[in-house]
């Protein structure tokens, strides 16, 4: 609710001196209101406004009357005052803490990116105006992309890169939009804060309830303000949103490597193979699960690596693993090497992965070293990829060869 710290400043032009203050309150409350006796009229204008709001918080009608009268005074921004009315009600209902009105209200130094589906244009427009009225600067494509811009996606990427945070208008249509998913994927990979807000009946939609439309896992673990016009306690949800937007946030980079993002220009989707992999890696029930694994089998040149890259880029996968997707190459020619050379190669590649995950490269030469860089691993060979990874293991690397000679390799990380 820190946006309410602006309200005393907005009302100060109506309370420049003691006569103006007495006139303001008498007109709002009536000359015989017992509340008048509880207000201190002397002192600075801001201190007077804060004291008056705290005193009137016991009576919502009195608060509304004060705002209505003050809005008609010269030099008072009536629209900005009105925009804070609902937040003021929520503040009064929460016990009217004085420090909320006295706290400074720092504004983000860079714009906030508003991500939404075009099907939710009206909701986005309303939110853009509502947040703008309380002092926030937002970036929205309709306002900030020149008409006919041939590089519209590049303009969006530049805007995401330059924004401090992203507000995601969560809806059925935004879940289906590849543009929206690309927007929050980019923001997530840069470690931007993404604040989703509900703008339709997304969590009750039949497609979501049936599992036909997947809500990314990271969206199921955060508190999401419900900003639908008819939502219960909508004003409180909006006040909480503005408070979150004013809190300091340290951007953290997510480790998703460039190699895993790249796809050939002639990539052809293979949904029959692709969708079961997505399902296997986004399973919701983690009870008793030590790790999720997936392995691709096939002769060389059949597109296993390309399919793995496509998985890393898919928004359902990146949404299920918000802390990052790490790419490492373990297979290729390892099986043709002697055991000693193979182990040395595996150590080198695994340590590259450890560096990516921890930022430290341990001085290790053997695979049986335990707890390297805070990561424990298990290495082995056999006829099949292991169905389970031991609970004390963070990383499992497995190699096998089936009778017809196709390679079968996999890497599993603990969730």
Could you tell me if residue 228 is inside a domain? yes
241/327 same-domain check = no
How many Å apart are CA 22 and CA 41, to the nearest integer? 7
Q: Is residue 120 within 8 Å of 199, Cβ to Cβ?
A: yes
Query: How many domains does the chain divide into?
Result: 3
Q: Establish if 251 belongs to a structural domain.
A: no
Domain end position, chosen among 246, 272, 307: 246
For residues 196 and 53, membership in a common domain is answered with: no
Q: Is residue 204 part of a domain?
A: yes
Phi-psi map region of 95: left, alpha, beta (phi>0 left; psi -120 to 50 alpha): left
Whether 252 is in a domain gets the answer: no
Q: Half-sphere exposure of residue 192, counting CA atoms within 13 Å on the CB side?
A: 28
Q: By residue range, what is the domain housing residue 335?
A: 258-413
Is 9 inside any structural domain? Answer: yes
Domain match, 90 and 145 both: no
pTM of the model: 0.52
Distance CA 300, CA 226 (A): 50
Q: What is the pLDDT of residues 27-45, one digit of tens each?
A: 999 988 999 888 988 887 8
Are 321 and 190 contained in the same domain? no
Query: Is residue 95 domain-resident?
Result: yes
pLDDT confidence bin for 290, thresholds 50/70/90: low
Q: Are residues 126 and 226 in the same domain?
A: yes
Q: Which of 71, 102, 133 is the last residue of a domain?
A: 102
With contact defined as beta carbons under 8 Å apart, do 24 and 14 qualify?
A: yes
pLDDT digits (tens, 9 = 90+) for 231-276: 888 888 888 898 888 877 777 665 555 455 567 777 888 888 888 8
Same domain, 216 and 350: no
Q: 107 in a domain, yes or no? A: no
166 and 277 both lie in a single domain: no
Report yes or no on 42 lying in a domain: yes
User: Do 42 and 168 lie in a common domain?
Assistant: no
């Amino acid at each position: 609710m820190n946006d309410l710290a602006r309200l005393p400043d907005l009302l100060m032009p109506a309370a420049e001196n003691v006569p103006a203050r007495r006139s303001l309150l008498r007109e709002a409350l009536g000359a015989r209101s017992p509340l008048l006796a509880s207000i201190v009229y002397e002192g600075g204008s801001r201190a007077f406004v804060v004291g008056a709001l705290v005193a009137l918080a016991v009576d919502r009608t009195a608060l509304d009357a004060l705002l209505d009268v003050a809005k008609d005074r010269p030099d008072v921004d009536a629209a900005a005052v009105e925009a804070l009315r609902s937040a003021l009600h929520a503040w009064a209902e929460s016990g009217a803490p004085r420090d909320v009105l006295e706290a400074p209200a720092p504004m983000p130094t860079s714009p906030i990116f508003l991500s939404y589906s075009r099907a939710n244009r009206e909701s986005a427009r309303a939110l853009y105006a509502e947040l703008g009225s309380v002092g926030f600067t937002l970036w929205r494509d309709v306002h900030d992309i020149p008409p006919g811009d041939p590089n519209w996606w590049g303009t969006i990427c530049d805007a995401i890169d330059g924004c401090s945070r992203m507000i995601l208008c969560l809806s059925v249509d935004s879940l289906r939009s590849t543009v929206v998913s690309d927007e929050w994927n980019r923001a997530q990979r840069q470690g931007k804060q993404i604040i989703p807000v509900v703008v339709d009946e997304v969590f009750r939609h039949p497609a979501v309830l049936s599992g036909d439309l997947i809500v990314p896992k990271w969206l199921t673990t955060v508190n999401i303000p419900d900003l639908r016009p008819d939502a219960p306690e909508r004003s409180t949800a909006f006040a909480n949103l503005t408070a979150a937007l004013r809190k300091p946030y340290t951007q953290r980079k997510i480790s998703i490597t460039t190699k895993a993002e790249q796809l050939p220009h002639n990539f052809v989707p293979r949904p029959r193979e692709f969708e079961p992999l997505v399902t296997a890696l986004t399973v919701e029930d983690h009870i008793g699960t030590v790790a999720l694994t997936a392995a691709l089998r096939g002769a060389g040149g059949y597109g296993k690596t390309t399919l793995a890259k496509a998985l890393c880029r898919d928004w359902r996968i990146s949404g299920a693993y918000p802390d990052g997707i790490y790419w490492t190459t373990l297979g290729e020619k390892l099986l043709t090497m002697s055991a000693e050379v193979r182990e040395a190669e595996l150590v080198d590649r695994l340590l590259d992965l450890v560096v990516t995950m921890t930022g430290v490269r341990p001085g290790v030469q053997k695979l049986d070293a335990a707890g390297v860089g805070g990561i424990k691993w298990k290495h082995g060979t056999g006829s099949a990829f292991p169905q389970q990874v031991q609970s004390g293991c963070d990383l499992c690397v497995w190699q096998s060869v089936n009778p017809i000679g196709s390679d079968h390799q996999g890497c599993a990380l603990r969730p």
